[in-house]
Chains A and B, each alone.
Chain A
């Protein structure tokens, strides 16, 4: 009974957090804000859903695989979001080739 209540609470919280991430992606005005809304909320929500699955399955081997999936989500989602944000930042503030060349010339 307690595990059922725990599973229901984790599932509802995880899916509501992912809905909040999606609303943030829809409503925020900028790409950096959207990546910010995506990263943390999506990692948190998918981790909550996977922990609920772990409680629901009651198997040790499946629990290890679920831990692997959680670790993989925590590794990949912030990495891809960071790549998108760095590319957008370089589009916003492009490197001026002449300035870069003159700076290296002065250093020589």
Chain B
């Protein structure tokens, strides 16, 4: 009974990871990709739980801890990097500079 349930749960978690991978590949913005990457990492931790239930071992628990730490650190690293990079990109882009100039002229007119 438990083996059948574990197989069904493997299928469900694999479908969840594939749906999130779709969002990683075709995400419109980069923050969507970061969010979907976090989902994929947690799905893989859930698959490790299922493997551990099937094999009746407790040796995978440390690996779960390390893998959830890896997902968290990857997401944090992405957010910190984007936090420093995106304002510079915005300042150096031509459209943003033009928008800012138009706003300044509109403020000076009245």
Contacts and interface: CB of A to CB of B under 8 A. Distances in A.
Interface of A: 4, 7-8, 11-12, 14-16, 18-19, 21-23, 25-26, 31, 34-35, 38, 42, 45-46, 49-50, 52-53, 56-57, 59, 61-62, 65-66, 68-69, 72-73, 76-77, 79-81, 83-84, 87-88, 91, 94, 98
Nearest to B34: A84
B49 A50 contact: yes
B72 A62 contact: no
A62 to B, nearest CB: 4
Given A31-B29, A73-B68, A22 B75 contact: no
Interface residues of B, number: 49
B43 A22 contact: yes
A72 B23 CA distance: 25
Interface of B: 1-2, 5-6, 8-9, 12-13, 15-17, 19-20, 22-23, 29, 31-32, 34-36, 38-39, 42-43, 45-46, 49-50, 52-53, 56, 58, 61-62, 64-65, 68-69, 72, 75-76, 79, 82-83, 86-87, 90, 104
B97 to A, nearest CB: 13
A76 B16 contact: no
A62 B58 contact: yes
B32 A69 contact: no
B39 A25 contact: yes
Given A72-B69, A76-B72, A87-B31, A11 B53 contact: yes
